[in-house]
């Protein structure tokens, strides 16, 4: 799978993909993440990518031409056939279901906004989908793009151990059950006996009960959603 990320701050992506699981996925050529600097298509002598808003008001607006030129030059004829995602606080909420859908695509473009806004013609004629990673305010779209790439990449076959993904599907829609590792006693705090018993069926049952109970306490909305899905089956 290939990601093309368009940004005016390519340096933000120096860190996030250069460690651990994503780094391994890149090395194994399971994923290809290309960062493109929109400013290479900036306007005029100063390579501007923004301008003041028509109609007045505070802040600057990201201009359309550098974005169309940048995305057009990288995607070429593929433009029009693949998802072009805009990270935006006004977008559809990003969910695991969306991550799963997008993990099936061979290639995705992600545009990272900055400033107070983006020229509406980009949304209307370049972007196929607007996605938000949550109801809080970021300074720009780059960290949201990194979050989406991370969540999507781990779903690509071969990136994560298939046992872990199978375990995840058993408990999908629930919060995690408690985990323990050695030592069995630490500062007088012990590990639940059931986990040391070797009774695999009993352990699975205990974990499911723990996950369900924690979800009921902390995220009853997730249980409601899960019940709706089960009713549909
Ligand atoms: C992209 C610029 C900064 C901040 C004005 C917005 C009402 C406008 C995001 N989950 C998420 N939160 N924030 C973002 C995000 C923020 C961005 C850009 C994504 C580009 N900014 C900014 C505030 C405003 N308010 C709501 C007025 C821009 C995602 N994904």
Domain-ending residue, one of 119, 153, 187: 153
pLDDT at position 169: 87
Would you place residue 207 in the very low, low, confident or very high pLDDT band (cuts 50, 70, 90)?
very high
The Å distance, Cα 48 to ligand 1 centre, comes to: 20
The reported pLDDT for the residue numbered 233 is 85
102 lies in the same domain as 172: no
What is the average pLDDT score of the chain? 97
Q: Count of domains in the chain? A: 2
113 ligand 1 Cβ < 6 A: yes
97 shares a domain with 195: no
**Which pLDDT belongs to residue 170?**
87
> Same domain, yes or no, for 172 and 121?
no
CA 177 to chain centroid: 23
Q: Is the pLDDT of residue 171 over 90?
A: no
Q: Ligand 1 in contact with 146 (CB < 6 A)?
A: no
Q: Are residues 185 and 131 in the same domain?
A: no
Instruction: Give the other-Cβ count within 10 Å of 186's Cβ.
Output: 10
Say if ligand 1 is within 6 A of residue 144 CB.
Answer: yes
The domain boundary, picked from 153, 183, 215, lies at 153
First to last CA, the chain: 31
DSSP code, position 48: B
* 159 lies in some domain: no
**Ligand 1: does its nearest atom lie under 6 Å from the Cβ of 139?**
yes
Task: Please state the pTM of the whole predicted model.
Answer: 0.97
For the CA of 113, the closest atom of ligand 1 is 20
Both 16 and 127 in a single domain?
yes
Q: Is the CB of 116 inside a 6 Å radius of any atom of ligand 1?
A: yes
Domain that holds residue 195: 167-232
Has residue 130 been placed in a domain?
yes
Closest C-alpha to 85, from 147, 130, 139: 130
Q: Supply the CATH number for residue 127's domain.
A: 3.40.1280.10
Choosing from 131, 153, 175, the residue where a domain stops is 153
| Per-residue pLDDT at 220 | 98
> Are residues 57 and 109 both part of a single domain?
yes
Give me the pLDDT at residue 162, please. 87
Does residue 158 lie in a domain region? no
For residue range 213-228, list pLDDT tens digits in order: 999 999 999 999 999 9
What number is the average pLDDT over the span 114-135? 97
pLDDT of residue 115: 94
- Considering the domain architecture, whether residues 7 and 113 belong to the same structural domain is answered as yes
């Amino acid at each position: 799978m290939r990601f093309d990320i368009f940004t005016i701050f390519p340096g933000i992506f120096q860190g996030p993909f250069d460690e651990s699981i994503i780094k391994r996925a890149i090395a194994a050529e399971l994923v290809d993440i290309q960062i493109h600097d929109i400013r290479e298509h900036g306007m005029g002598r100063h390579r501007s990518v923004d301008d003041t808003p028509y109609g007045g008001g505070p802040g600057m607006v990201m201009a359309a031409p550098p974005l169309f030129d940048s995305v057009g030059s990288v995607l070429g004829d593929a433009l029009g056939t693949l998802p072009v995602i805009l990270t935006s606080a006004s977008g559809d909420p990003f969910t695991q279901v969306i991550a799963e859908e997008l993990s099936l695509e061979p290639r995705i473009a992600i545009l990272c906004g900055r400033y107070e806004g983006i020229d509406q013609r980009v949304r209307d004629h370049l972007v196929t989908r607007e996605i938000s990673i949550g109801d809080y305010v970021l300074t720009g779209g780059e960290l949201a793009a990194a979050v989406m790439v991370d969540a999507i990449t781990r779903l690509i076959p071969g990136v994560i151990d298939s046992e872990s993904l199978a375990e995840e599907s058993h408990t999908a829609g629930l919060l995690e059950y408690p985990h323990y590792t050695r030592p069995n006693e630490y500062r007088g705090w012990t590990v639940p006996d059931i986990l040391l018993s070797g009774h695999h069926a009993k352990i699975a049952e205990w974990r499911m009960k723990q996950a369900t109970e924690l979800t009921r306490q902390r995220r009853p909305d997730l249980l409601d959603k899960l019940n709706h899905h089960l009713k549909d089956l």
